[in-house]
Amino acid sequence: MDSNIMQAILNSVEKYKGIKEGKNASYIPYLAEVDPNLCALTVVTKEGEVFSAGDDEYRFAIESISKVCTLALAMEDLGPEKVRQKIGDSPTGLPFNSVIALELHKDKPLTPLVNAGAMATTSIIKANSKEERWKRILDFQKKMMSDKVELSDEVNKSEQTTNFHNRGIAWLLYSAQQMFSDPMEACEVYTRQCSTLVSSKDLATLAATLANKGKNPITKEQVIKESHISHILAEMTMEGLYEESGDFAYTVGLPAKSGVGGGLLAVVPGVLGIAAFSPPLNKYGNSVKGIKMIKHLAKELNYNIY
Ligand code: DON
């Protein structure tokens, strides 16, 4: 089995690393400059074994994948029912940065995995100050991945100085009473949580923590309550890849989450976590090679939860 996983990883990377489709995200200046040829694919099993190929030590911006960590922390703080009631639990069918996603649905952002819902989720994390909220979110990212996860001042500066759209969404949320802390503080902390650097090994560990009922298979720490995992995976299935979520569920059949930094993770519940990294994105903001590599790997290893 182990040699099958490694061979499937090598086959996927070899098949797709050279393709030239997609474009780096350009609305965040830092991301536009990342080498588009970087490419990695990693698996971490629930036993903590690591299989990996390509640029798997390269550290890139986590971006929207951080929404999964903050959602998990919000559930630890408030329980899944309260998070569901305040933020929502449904797909938007709209882009990740949609303002309409907020407006059309009686002001509730619908899901913690679009920017509107993600900022509202950041705002409900229990904390007495901005710095305490940030520290709790960063510590939680570390627990789900590794101690190596750190804020990049460079990415953060690049995002904080250009995030006018998210600030607009944050004020809309506030005017609809859907922000549970100061809106600009929530937007700032949300932007920091997107600006941490991770490797494909870290992301595969995050995916494996979700696959392993909330226990990080490398550190052996129970990070998330087991009973919350099915709710998190349901959100990922419905909205993890935005408008491409349905296609991925239909063709691959695994809960997944993308980030505009080029990271993509998928979870095989009870078995292992998969992470891919390649910066060029398709029109939905998902990594082109990431989707292809994970699709290929899952097919070769026969993983599809449906
Ligand atoms: O808020 C933003 O626009 C970025 N920090 C994150 C967006 C993102 O990663 C969307 N996912 N594919």
pLDDT at 1: 61
ipTM of the complex: 0.99
Q: Are the C-beta atoms of 295 and 252 separated by less than 8 Å?
A: yes
Confidence of residue 100 (pLDDT cuts 50, 70, 90): confident
Could you tell me what percent of the chain has a pLDDT over 90? Answer: 90
Q: Give pLDDT tens digits for 40-50.
A: 999 999 999 99
Q: Lowest mean pLDDT of 12-21, 80-89, 103-112, name the range.
A: 103-112
Q: How far is the CA of 45 from the centre of ligand 1 (A)?
A: 27
pLDDT at 97: 87
What distance in Å separates the CA atoms of residue 216 and residue 212, rounded to the nearest whole number?
Answer: 7
Which atom belonging to ligand 1 lies closest to the Cα atom of 281? 12
Confidence of residue 108 (pLDDT cuts 50, 70, 90): confident
Q: Which residues contact 32 (CB under 8 A, 6 or more apart)?
A: 24, 25, 26
Compute the mean pLDDT over every residue in the chain, rounded to the nearest whole number: 95
- Whether 23 shows a pLDDT value over 70: the answer reads yes
Q: How far is the CA of 101 from the centre of ligand 1 (A)?
A: 15
Q: Are the C-beta atoms of 117 and 111 separated by less than 8 Å?
A: yes
- Whether 105 shows a pLDDT value over 70: the answer reads no
pLDDT at 54: 97
Could you tell me how many helices (H) and strands (E) the chain has, helices first?
14, 8
Q: How far is the CA of 209 from the centre of ligand 1 (A)?
A: 22
The 10 Å Cβ neighbour count of residue 280 is 21
